[in-house]
């Protein structure tokens, strides 16, 4: 069992996650429906598309240069997930509307970067100069075909030693330049058409860090970009190979583009997008590691890059899997299609009918506006997140101000993976009262069977009831 609950004085006051007990408090907002998914470890079933993709990515970052890790337990401290990475105190990622908190000090990791510090520490005095780490990560997020509250990430990093003494700096840089350039040339990316960003490494918010040599940073960035293009090119080649020749020959290159990005723990930072089914799809974020992070981990004399990729995004591309919920399917018609080490196009089994329902409501002006994590006293959001946290939460007399991610959470809690997507279809500001009205369209569809009308109506009225009881809104 991944988790079991403990009752204290008749109240559900905590939870056991993978053998470790946690006490709930006013910050708790992790619902049961999410805890159910902890410990599934999809990447450990060799025939699962997540595991096949993980292995393919690892093969692009081979031993002995890179060590490969996985971390089964998703509970980390706020220090590991945010503080050590330099997240500002008011960063939106820390908010309870975005993150699942077990309690004030512990949360379900929102990214594999939560293990960056430990992974860098493991490189001190090690033969390896880099690592990959793969794990399940958790986010309160919107619901659609490419977003699910639990998904998998893989992070990679590579460091090079910096010369200790200033004398050897120039010579060492030349040597390193040679090594990096040789690496870069050895990474074929023939099938890729890439657009680079125009970056000014000298100034601006995405510049080289002050303690770095700009020429050196350019090289490290080139190595980073080529390494990731090599990865994407490899994935694309693998998916081309499963096409019939007549189709393969007609295919042009894969279009990709680099765009500038921001992460608290890298500078400069970038994201890589690919053109897929006519739309730009973000695959990964990356950048040159903030020097204080390396220094804190005992790598004072190193410079390095890091990246983080969504495994589902790559797997969807590779296998042609159309809906991110399918990865969690226990349906044999899904699971039996994949075999360790083989890439093959997913053959959709019959799609069951969809059923749309709308929910519209007025937002009442709320006296208790949302406040940042830690300061919040009224915990309607914890309540929104589900059963247990709600009972444990001390203050919940006032309905909370509504946030977009809250409806996603309510829907998920009521209907789980029976919902394909939730979209805001109408937004209206009343001209005289100034009140705002929102209308969301919920698309109910099971991947495994046809839902009955009664069933959908029942789910939908549960969603409405829950919304009404938890938030300061008025259903229309
Ligand atoms: C991060 O999580 C950074 N930790 C990545 C990073 C690592 C940057 C190291 C620099 C250095 P981001 O939030 O953009 O960044 O997520 C990274 C990738 O995860 C995205 O590009 C996307 O592929 C995937 N992803 C993000 N949210 C979801 C989601 N809800 N469902 C599926 N995949 C997602
Ligand atoms: Mg991103």
Split at pLDDT 50, 70, 90, the class of 165 is: low
Whole-prediction pTM: 0.81
361 and 324 in one domain?
A: no
Instruction: Count the domains in the chain.
Output: 2
Which residue CA neighbors atom 24 of ligand 1 most closely? 310
276 and 169 in one domain?
A: yes
What is the token pair recorded at 465? 């009831």
Q: Find out whether the beta carbon of 310 lies less than 6 Å from any atom of ligand 1.
A: yes
271 CA closest ligand 1 atom index = 21
Q: Does any domain span residue 323?
A: yes
312 and 361 in one domain?
A: no
In this predicted structure, what is the pLDDT of residue 12?
Answer: 57
User: What is the β-pairing status of strands 66-70 and 130-138?
Assistant: parallel
- Tell me the CA–centroid distance for residue 457 and ligand 1, in Å: 35
C-alpha distance from residue 7 to each of 23, 65, 305, 388 (Å): 11, 48, 46, 11
Average pLDDT over residues 419-446: 92
In this predicted structure, what is the pLDDT of residue 380?
Answer: 30
140 and 229 in one domain?
A: yes
58 and 201 in one domain?
A: yes
Q: Find out whether the beta carbon of 293 lies less than 6 Å from any atom of ligand 1.
A: no
- Tell me the CA–centroid distance for residue 435 and ligand 2, in Å: 33
Q: Does any domain span residue 118?
A: yes
Q: Does any domain span residue 341?
A: no
Average pLDDT over residues 461-469: 95
294 and 439 in one domain?
A: no
125 and 67 in one domain?
A: yes
Residues in the chain: 476
In this structure, how many other beta carbons lie within 10 angstroms of the beta carbon of residue 469?
A: 12
- Tell me the CA–centroid distance for residue 262 and ligand 2, in Å: 9
In this predicted structure, what is the pLDDT of residue 368?
Answer: 44
pLDDT tens for each residue of 403-429: 888 999 899 989 988 999 999 999 999
Q: Find out whether the beta carbon of 141 lies less than 6 Å from any atom of ligand 1.
A: yes
- The structure tokens 């930072």 sit at 269
Q: Find out whether the beta carbon of 313 lies less than 6 Å from any atom of ligand 1.
A: yes
324 and 406 in one domain?
A: no
269 and 236 in one domain?
A: yes
Q: Which residue has the higher pLDDT, 389 or 411?
A: 411
Report which bound ligand comes closest to the CA of 283: 1
Q: Residue 361: name the closest of 424, 422, 309 by CA.
A: 424
Q: What is the ipTM of this complex?
A: 0.99
The residue to mutate among 119, 232, 270, 285, having the most atoms of ligand 1 within 8 angstroms of its beta carbon, is 285
Q: Does any domain span residue 432?
A: yes
Is-contact 364 472, C-beta < 8 A?
A: yes
Is-contact 291 209, C-beta < 8 A?
A: yes
Is-contact 327 321, C-beta < 8 A?
A: yes
Q: Find out whether the beta carbon of 155 lies less than 6 Å from any atom of ligand 1.
A: yes
Neighbours of ion ligand 2 (CB under 5 A): 285
Burial 207-217 (b: 16+ CB within 10 A, else e): bbbeebeeebb
Split at pLDDT 50, 70, 90, the class of 359 is: very high
Three-state SS annotation for the chain? CCEEEEEECCEEEEEEECCEEEECCCCCCCCHHHHCCCCCCHHHCCCCHHHHHHHHHHHHCCCCCEEEEECCCCEEEHHHHCHHHCCCCCCHHHCCCCCCECCCCEEECCCHHHHHHHHHHHHCCCCCCEEEEEEEEECCCCCECCECCEEEEEEEEEEEECCCCCCCHHHHHHHHHHHHHHHHHCCCCCCEEEECCCCCCCCCCCCCCCCCCHHHHHHHHHHHHHHHHHHHHHHHHHHHHCCCHHHHHHCCCEEEEEEEEEECCEEEEEEEEEEECCEEEEEEEEEEECHHHHHHCCCCCEEEEEEEEEHHHHHHHHHCCCCHHHHHCCCHHHHCCCCCCCCCCCCCCCCCCCEEEEEEEEECCCCCCCCCCCCCCCCHHHHHCCHHHHHHCCCCCCCECCCHHHHHHHHHHHHHHHEEEEEEEEEEECCCCCCEEEEEEEEECCCCCCCCHHHHHHHHHHHHHHHHHHECEEEC
pLDDT tens for each residue of 281-290: 899 999 999 9
113 CA closest ligand 1 atom index = 4
Q: Does any domain span residue 201?
A: yes
pLDDT tens for each residue of 264-274: 999 999 999 99
Q: Does any domain span residue 13?
A: no
Which residue CA neighbors atom 33 of ligand 1 most closely? 310
Which residue CA neighbors atom 15 of ligand 1 most closely? 285
Which residue CA neighbors atom 10 of ligand 1 most closely? 286
Report which bound ligand comes closest to the CA of 111: 1
Which residues fall within 8 angstroms of residue 391, CB to CB, at 6 or more apart?
11, 12
323 and 455 in one domain?
A: no
Which residue CA neighbors atom 32 of ligand 1 most closely? 147
Percent of the chain with pLDDT over 70: 89
In this predicted structure, what is the pLDDT of residue 371?
Answer: 38
What's 437's domain CATH number? 3.30.70.380
275 and 200 in one domain?
A: yes
356 and 247 in one domain?
A: no
Which residues fall within 8 angstroms of residue 199, CB to CB, at 6 or more apart?
206, 221, 260, 268
pLDDT higher than 60, residue 367: no
Q: Does any domain span residue 383?
A: no
What's 197's domain CATH number? 3.30.930.10
Is-contact 367 88, C-beta < 8 A?
A: no
Which residue CA neighbors atom 29 of ligand 1 most closely? 147
The residue to mutate among 284, 312, 321, having the most atoms of ligand 1 within 8 angstroms of its beta carbon, is 284
In this predicted structure, what is the pLDDT of residue 404?
Answer: 82
Which residues fall within 8 angstroms of residue 222, CB to CB, at 6 or more apart?
180, 184
- Tell me the CA–centroid distance for residue 215 and ligand 1, in Å: 28
Report which bound ligand comes closest to the CA of 224: 1
Q: Find out whether the beta carbon of 109 lies less than 6 Å from any atom of ligand 1.
A: no
- The structure tokens 């004399």 sit at 301
Q: Does any domain span residue 233?
A: yes
282 CA closest ligand 1 atom index = 21
Q: Find out whether the beta carbon of 148 lies less than 6 Å from any atom of ligand 1.
A: yes
Report which bound ligand comes closest to the CA of 287: 1
C-alpha distance from residue 219 to each of 4, 182, 368 (Å): 50, 11, 51
Domain around 232: 37-74+109-335
Of 90-99, 167-176, 440-449, where does mean pLDDT reach its minimum? 167-176
Which residues fall within 8 angstroms of residue 414, CB to CB, at 6 or more apart?
459, 462, 463, 466
Q: Find out whether the beta carbon of 113 lies less than 6 Å from any atom of ligand 1.
A: yes
Q: Which residue has the higher pLDDT, 252 or 264?
A: 264
Which residue CA neighbors atom 14 of ligand 1 most closely? 285
């Amino acid at each position: 069992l991944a988790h079991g609950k403990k009752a204290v004085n008749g109240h559900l006051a905590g939870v056991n996650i993978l053998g470790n007990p946690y006490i709930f408090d006013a910050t708790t907002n992790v619902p049961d429906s999410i805890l159910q998914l902890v410990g599934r470890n999809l990447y450990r079933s060799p025939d699962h598309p997540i595991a096949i993709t993980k292995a393919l990515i690892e093969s692009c970052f081979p031993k002995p240069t890179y060590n490969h890790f996985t971390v089964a337990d998703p509970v980390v401290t706020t220090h590991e997930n945010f503080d050590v990475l330099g997240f500002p105190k008011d960063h939106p990622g820390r908010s309870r509307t975005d993150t699942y908190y077990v309690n004030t000090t512990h949360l379900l990791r929102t990214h594999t970067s939560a293990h960056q510090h430990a992974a860098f520490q493991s490189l001190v005095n090690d033969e390896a100069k880099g690592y990959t780490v793969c794990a399940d990560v958790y986010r309160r997020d919107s619901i659609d075909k490419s977003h699910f509250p639990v998904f998998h990430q893989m992070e990679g990093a590579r460091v090079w030693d910096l010369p200790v003494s200033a004398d050897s700096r120039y010579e060492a840089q030349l040597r390193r330049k040679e090594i990096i350039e040789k690496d870069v040339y050895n990474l074929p990316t023939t099938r890729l058409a890439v657009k680079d960003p125009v970056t000014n490494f000298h100034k601006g918010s995405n510049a080289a860090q002050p303690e770095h040599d700009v020429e050196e940073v350019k090289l490290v960035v080139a190595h980073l970009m080529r390494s990731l293009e090599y990865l994407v090119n490899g994935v694309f080649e693998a998916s081309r190979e499963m096409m019939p020749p007549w189709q393969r020959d007609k295919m042009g290159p894969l279009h990709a583009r680099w765009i500038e990005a921001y992460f608290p723990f890298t500078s400069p930072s970038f994201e890589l997008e690919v053109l897929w089914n006519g739309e730009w799809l973000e695959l990964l974020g990356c950048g040159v590691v903030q020097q204080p992070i390396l220094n804190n981990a005992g790598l004072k004399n190193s410079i390095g890059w890091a990246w983080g990729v969504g495994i589902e995004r790559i797997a969807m591309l590779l296998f042609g899997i159309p809906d991110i919920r399918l990865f969690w399917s226990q349906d044999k018609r899904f699971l039996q299609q994949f075999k360790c080490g083989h890439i093959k196009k997913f053959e959709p089994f019959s799609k069951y009918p969809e059923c749309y329902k709308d929910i519209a409501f007025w937002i009442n002006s709320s006296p208790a506006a949302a406040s940042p994590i830690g300061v919040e006293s009224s915990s309607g959001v914890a309540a929104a997140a589900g059963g247990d946290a709600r009972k444990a939460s001390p203050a919940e007399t006032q309905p909370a101000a509504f946030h977009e991610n809250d409806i996603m959470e309510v829907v998920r809690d009521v209907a789980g993976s029976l919902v394909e997507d939730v979209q805001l279809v109408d937004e209206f500001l009343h001209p005289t009262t100034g009140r705002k009205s929102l209308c969301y369209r919920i698309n109910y569809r099971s991947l495994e069977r046809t839902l009955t009308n009664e069933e959908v109506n029942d789910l939908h009225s549960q969603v409405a009831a829950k919304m009404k009881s938890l938030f300061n809104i008025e259903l229309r």
